[in-house]
């Protein structure tokens, strides 16, 4: 577990507000695109993690707060290893490390057996 993981090193970061998408190009050459809604829903801060855990425990979901599209208020680098996304009307405490972003990249999870040509 101590081997350096350089895969999760971004060489290019693009915040595309019109497309409501955040894109990363990794040192490995892979490219990932994250919709704002997807990213906001996976906020890694302690509060949101706790909320997600609670939701797993309790199947009754009471959704409060604004519905509708998640807007990105601001995004800042945190040191050299993470980004802080601030969601308008949502959470502003999420520190998304590049390791975490790499981990949750859409399309990385094994896709349900799509037929290959
Ligand atoms: Zn949060």
Q: Report the distance separating Cα 44 and Cα 46, nearest Å.
A: 7
Considering only CA atoms, which of 12, 72, 64, 79 is closest in space to residue 39? 72
Quick check: helix, strand or coil at residue 101?
A: helix
CA of 95 to the centre of ligand 1 (A): 8
Mean pLDDT, the chain, rounded, equals 85
Residue 8: band (very low, low, confident or very high) from pLDDT cuts 50, 70, 90: confident
CA of 42 to the centre of ligand 1 (A): 8
Residue bearing tokens 């302690």: 46
Average of per-residue pLDDT across 31-56: 93
Residue bearing tokens 């906001």: 40
Entry pTM: 0.79
CA of 117 to the centre of ligand 1 (A): 41
Map out the domains of the chain with their CATH numbers: 6-104 (3.30.2020.30)
Q: What is the pLDDT of residues 105-115, one digit of tens each?
A: 997 655 454 44
């Amino acid at each position: 577990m101590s081997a350096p993981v350089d895969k999760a090193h971004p060489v290019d970061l693009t915040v595309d507000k019109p497309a409501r998408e955040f894109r990363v190009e990794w040192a490995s050459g892979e490219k990932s695109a994250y919709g704002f809604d997807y990213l906001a829903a996976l906020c890694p801060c302690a509060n949101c993690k706790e909320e997600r855990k609670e939701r797993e425990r309790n199947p009754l979901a009471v959704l409060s707060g604004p519905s509708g599209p998640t807007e990105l208020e601001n995004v800042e680098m945190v040191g050299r290893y993470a980004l802080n996304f601030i969601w308008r009307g949502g959470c502003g405490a999420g520190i998304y490390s590049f390791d975490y972003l790499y981990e949750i990249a859409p399309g990385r999870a094994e896709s349900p057996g799509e037929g290959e040509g």
